Structures are given as structure tokens and as C-alpha cells.
């Protein structure tokens, strides 16, 4: 296991997490894995397949919490390695800047981004991937789709509404929104 996935026991028990979620925003990272051509133009977007809380299959982006004492850069790398496997070889800039910041609220009317469990702040990144990916943890599959395929009605319907909005913003950010 690389240094990027080693974490100290810096998280909360389930009870403490529930209490904290009710009182403080939680920081998350959202990563949209992409394949690029030799000029750096995005050619494909990687989407995970997971079973959602409702039991249905959903396409998702890589996302997860930032641990106490963890650099944001390390959190992005940790979650990419956890979901895409240790040979994914993500290219994270030395000083990563999110392309957008998303606020998730328990009330769906506040920002259009909804998380019924909590108020969360998501820092979103587009991350070029150079290596071989093998979905892991609770990801069942990983597909690489061209930008126009991701925005097709069929694939868009498979994405959770919040993740679809993040992917759309990412594609606009890299100049690939169909």
C-alpha cells in the first residue's frame, strides 16, 4: 500500500459521526477521473457503478471524506486509489485547486445539491488517470465514456442527480460539454 492510502485512525465512531454531521459541515473531495490525449484534451470520463442505499445501481464519481489532519491532495489520492485500484496512476498537481466547490444540504431546496444526512462541502477535481484501473471497495464496475456519451439521456439517468451536476460542471470546466 502506498503512503497516500495509509491513514491514521483519524475518524469518528458511527455515533460520533452522526452527532458531528448534525452540528458541522463535513469536508469531502469529489474526483472526476479522465483520460486525455497527448495534448491534454479530455477524451473519456470514468464513472463507477455502485449499489445505492435504495438497492438500485447508480453511476457515480469518486468521492469521500477528508480525514482530520489529512491534506486535501492526499485525500484525493486516497479515494482514487481506493476506488480505482493501486495502479491507476492519477496525475494530481503539486498544489491542487478545485474547479468548483459544492455545498450539499439536508434541505434539497437550498443549493440543488442534496445529502439528507448532513451539510457537506465538496471540493471537486478533474484528475487525469494514466494507469490501469480495477474498481475496488464497493465499486462494482468502472466504465470510460466519451463526454457526449456521459451526457446522453441513458447515462445521465444512471447518475445520481448531484453527481450529474458535478460531471456537467467538470465537462464545462475542461471545455468538453457537448
pLDDT at 8 over 70: no
Average pLDDT, the chain: 89
Residue 79's SS3 state is: helix
Q: How confident is the model at residue 10 (pLDDT cuts 50, 70, 90)?
A: low
CA distance linking residue 61 with residue 176, whole number of Å? 17
Beta carbons of 154 and 105 less than 8 angstroms apart? no
Residue of 109, 105, 112, 124 lying closest to 166 (CA atoms): 124
Average pLDDT over residues 97-109: 93
Record: fold of 14-173: Nucleoside Triphosphate Pyrophosphohydrolase (3.90.79)
Q: Return the pLDDT at 117.
A: 86
pLDDT at 65 over 80: yes
pTM: 0.86
pLDDT at 114 over 50: yes
Most confident among 7-11, 49-53, 98-102 (mean pLDDT): 98-102
Q: Return the pLDDT at 116.
A: 87
Average pLDDT over residues 111-124: 90
Q: Return the pLDDT at 11.
A: 66
pLDDT at 4 over 60: no
CA distance linking residue 11 with residue 130, whole number of Å? 30
User: Which are the contacts of 119, defined by CB distance < 8 A and separation ≥ 6?
Assistant: 21, 24, 25, 26, 103, 104, 105, 106
pLDDT digits 0-9 by tens, 66-82: 998 999 999 999 999 99
* Grid cell for residue 137: 471497495
Length of the chain equals: 178
Residue of 30, 21, 112, 107 lying closest to 63 (CA atoms): 30
Amino acid at each position: 500500500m502506498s503512503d497516500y492510502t495509509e491513514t491514521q485512525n483519524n475518524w469518528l465512531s458511527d455515533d460520533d459521526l452522526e452527532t458531528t454531521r448534525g452540528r458541522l459541515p463535513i469536508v469531502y473531495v469529489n474526483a472526476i477521473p479522465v483520460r486525455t490525449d497527448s495534448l491534454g484534451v479530455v477524451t473519456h470520463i470514468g464513472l463507477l457503478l455502485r449499489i445505492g442505499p435504495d438497492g438500485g445501481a447508480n453511476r457515480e464519481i469518486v468521492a469521500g471524506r477528508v480525514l482530520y489532519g489529512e491534506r486535501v491532495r492526499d485525500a484525493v489520492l486516497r479515494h482514487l486509489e481506493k476506488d480505482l485500484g493501486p495502479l491507476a496512476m492519477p496525475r494530481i498537481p503539486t498544489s491542487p485547486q478545485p474547479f468548483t466547490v459544492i455545498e450539499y444540504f439536508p434541505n434539497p431546496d437550498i443549493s440543488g445539491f442534496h445529502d439528507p444526512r448532513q451539510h457537506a462541502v465538496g471540493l471537486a477535481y478533474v484528475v487525469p488517470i494514466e494507469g490501469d484501473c480495477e474498481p475496488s471497495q464497493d465499486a462494482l464496475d468502472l466504465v470510460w465514456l466519451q463526454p457526449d456519451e456521459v451526457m446522453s439521456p441513458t447515462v445521465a439517468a444512471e447518475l445520481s442527480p448531484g453527481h450529474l451536476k458535478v460531471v456537467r460542471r467538470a465537462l464545462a470546466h475542461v471545455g468538453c460539454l457537448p
